[in-house]
Amino acid sequence: MGQKMNNAPVYFTVAQVLFNPILNLEGYLPTIQDRMRAAHFPDFKREVFQQLVVPFGAGEAGQAPTPSFIQQARCIFGDIEGTTGFVLENNALAIQTTAYETFETFSKAFLQGLSIVHEALRLDFTERVGLRYLDAVLPHTNESLADYLAPEVLGLSPKLSGQLSHSVSETVTLNAVGQLISRVIIQD
């Protein structure tokens, strides 16, 4: 079991699962909202946003395809503190938090929310699962990032002279259950 780090650099964490689209999600919302409220996520909001759709391929008569906007709806189920919430769309559920403790605590909450959604919707398949941590590492005076991070994520920045503008490192691995992408972005 993990332990919470003192002065942990994690300031925002999000996990998301993409699943089969549910076009009549609105009909299931009362059940989902009631179960989320019972799971200590009583702050309910419904939002409508615009999604940009960029078609691929040639348009009519060889013209470039025209991008369009479609309206999308999402529901947010937040906790009382306003630090953790679920975002439900017709094909995805995400949990996001600014109060990350440990992976075990975070994943338990995520699986609880996913279970609530699955029980109501009876999801058929999962297309993708993602997890993202946003960290802020702020070295003290006379310290550097190398004092805090593993050399593998620093890239060439410690070896080069001059003022660092930014550094990006990406590693993609394939394994039996799918693909793992690790990205590290360092900027001043």
Q: Which whole number is the average pLDDT over 169-185?
A: 88
Sign of the torsion formed by the C-alpha atoms of 173, 174, 179 and 180: negative
| pLDDT at residue 41, rounded to an integer | 97
Tell which residue, 137, 151, 188, has the closest CA to residue 7. Answer: 137
For the segment 79-132, what is each residue's pLDDT rounded down to a tens digit? 999 999 999 999 999 999 999 988 999 999 999 999 999 999 999 999 889 999
pLDDT at 107: 95
What is the DSSP annotation of 51-117? EEE---S--GGGPPPPPEEEEEEEEEEE-TTSSEEEEEETTEEEEEES----HHHHHHHHHHHHHHH
User: What is the model's pLDDT at position 37?
Assistant: 97
**Model pLDDT, residue 78:** 97
Q: Which of 18-22, 32-36, 77-81, 135-139 has the lowest mean pLDDT?
A: 135-139
pLDDT of 61 strictly over 90: no
The whole-number pLDDT of residue 117 equals 97
More confident of the two residues 178 and 20? 20
Q: Which residue has the higher pLDDT, 64 or 131?
A: 131
Q: Taking the mean position of all CA atoms in its chain, how far away is CA 24?
A: 24
Q: What is the pLDDT of residue 60?
A: 67
What's the confidence (pLDDT) of residue 35? 97
Bridge partners of residue 89, in order along the sequence: 92
Contact 8, 100 (CB under 8 A): yes
Judge if pTM exceeds 0.85. no
